[in-house]
Structure 1
Amino acid sequence: MNQITFQIPLENLTRQYERIRAEVEPAVLQVLASGKYILGPTVQAFEQEFAALCQTNYALGISNGTEALHLALLACNIGAGDEVITVPNTYAATVFAITYTGATPVFVDVDSITFNMDIEQVKKKITPRTRAILPVHMYGQMVPMDALMEVANQHGIWVIEDAAHAHGAEYQGKRAGSWGHIGCFSFYPTKVLGACGDGGAVTTNDPQLYDRLKVLRYMGQHVKYVNEIVGYQQRLDELQAAILRVKLRYLDEWINARQRWAKLYSERLKGLPVITPQEVGEVRHTYYLYTIRAQHRDALMAFLSQHGISTAPIYPNLVPYQPAYQELGLKPGAFPVADAHLGEILCLPMFPELTEQEVVYVTDAIREFYHRR
């Protein structure tokens, strides 16, 4: 492998667009011609279709995934003096949403195999101030929600799923976003289901939560200009909904492709000093990211980059150690499992439009790296 024969990005949205442009462009033009750009029929249609996907009674289009989490917490009346349990290895937005409400994030360590919330640790962190648990379905594999819901129900605690990585994922036959009281999704462009810009959604089976979320989403009102509570301007727009409706039709196909590439990666990485993703329990892993744990991770990243292969450690820092959360007083070593992962995790190129030749090229490069050491 002395010459670069491929340039393989971590994700490639151009290939996806070329595949569906004949459907996306007319859908966008139809919205433009309609003159209805905010909370129109396209958003309503998408909400119904997305609720059906998630096996929930309701879905609401939100401006982005961060605000989906924020509004979900507010809908559950989370605020100052409350504690919300979550994980340290998530994207900062998960924790920011808690902070926006005035509540305090409480972190628990993660499972060494799945990277997901350790339920036994959750049990130890519940206090009289705990009002919610915010599990994150990391990389496309769901948290064991039966066990988590049992704990939450015993203590009368809200469960808000961060399903930003998990569109279409399942645990015991139930979809992400349908287990907790509210599910929260991001449609950031690179997600398993991504918009061409920002977007998000909340899902629920509870009509009262649905109504409160709807009011919070748009200026605290049921009737325009009658502001019952302090609300927000956090709506999904018609153009993004039109694009998402097209993409939604391909979601199962794209998940199947991701699973195919994940299986090929895992087969071809056998025998190397890397730990490949493991599916634990009765799950449908959607492989938003294909994340390995690798010895000599940084050197491997550099070697792959020299051979035209983009990789990334996602996420490279634990949120409680970030400057924004120094007041919590948490130092490296507070979360032994998550801390150990920091120097090992590496996400390989993963998107539905990958080719077998590209996956073979990536795995051959990894094999060559370790054979040289």
Structure 2
Amino acid sequence: MKILVTGTAGFIGNHLALRLLERGDEVIGIDNLNDYYDVNLKKARLARILDHNRYTDIRADLADRDRIEQVFKEHRPERVVNLAAQAGVRYSIENPHAYIDSNIVGFINILEGCRHYGVEHLVYASSSSVYGANESMPFSVHDNVDHPLSLYAASKKANELMAHTYSNLYNLPTTGLRFFTVYGPWGRPDMALFLFTKAILSGEKIQVFNYGKHRRDFTYIDDIVEGVIRTLDNIAQPNPDWTGAKPDPGTSRAPWRVYNIGNQNPVELMKYIEVLEQCLGKTAEKELLPLQPGDVPDTYADVEALVQDVGYKPGTPIEVGIARFVEWYGSYYNF
């Protein structure tokens, strides 16, 4: 297939593009190489796929309406995976406009491209952050998610609503994927595992928020990519049993679905740090701090809908995933 993937210099997008190329697909990749974090890392990721004869590299910003329309018109992708976005809960407090430009304006440009150029299926990144103030565990796609705690979370919830509108109006199949704390080789430098590793190796304190009482459903990158590919290949269908009298937030009479992709095994942050210390052979000096604005104490994915519809359940244990990250980090940064 010819697949458009946005964010191919990003963590998940780069891994996904590589897997799609390996299985024989043609990939059109879009990225604007912004400087939210180390651009050299993004370029190094891109170097893994740039020379592939089925990869087309495009430098563009999703918020550039004319440029995105030109990409759709010229390349006519059969399916689209939209992973490009302004990420980060805490950064959304500092720079809210970046989230509107990328996650809202950029997403409507993707939806319009899919609508006008006959895309078979749009898969897009949502986030576990949409669960916000929910306290019922595990988080289910059938839960109400109307109480986000950050603008980042609100932008991802908005994406799900926008996608539903296009699925309903134009019969465009769309699937939103709520990712749960993704980690692994080539990861983002603003994420905890990267920050902790750098600090521990430098002999600096690590900042442990919520006094270490966080629980996160850490999900290894290969598990995420497998889930994305399986949902991409499983085009969203209407739910014939859906009724407006008792609406289900996780499905619709339109060809629209959302899924959690998480390890379904929440881990205490202190346990996560302990495994990292063992892999590094060094003990961390910890600075215990209160819960940050916009953060949630715990995440825990119910992946039953994913298992039922596409037959997949993530399962890489943190002992394996963290060890692989540390091995990559040592190779990339020569420690």
Say whether the fold is shared (TM-score over 0.5).
Answer: no
Q: Given the two structures, how large is their TM-score scaled by the length of structure 2?
A: 0.31
Q: Which has the higher contact order (CA 8 A, sep 6+)?
A: 1
Q: Which has the larger radius of gyration?
A: 1
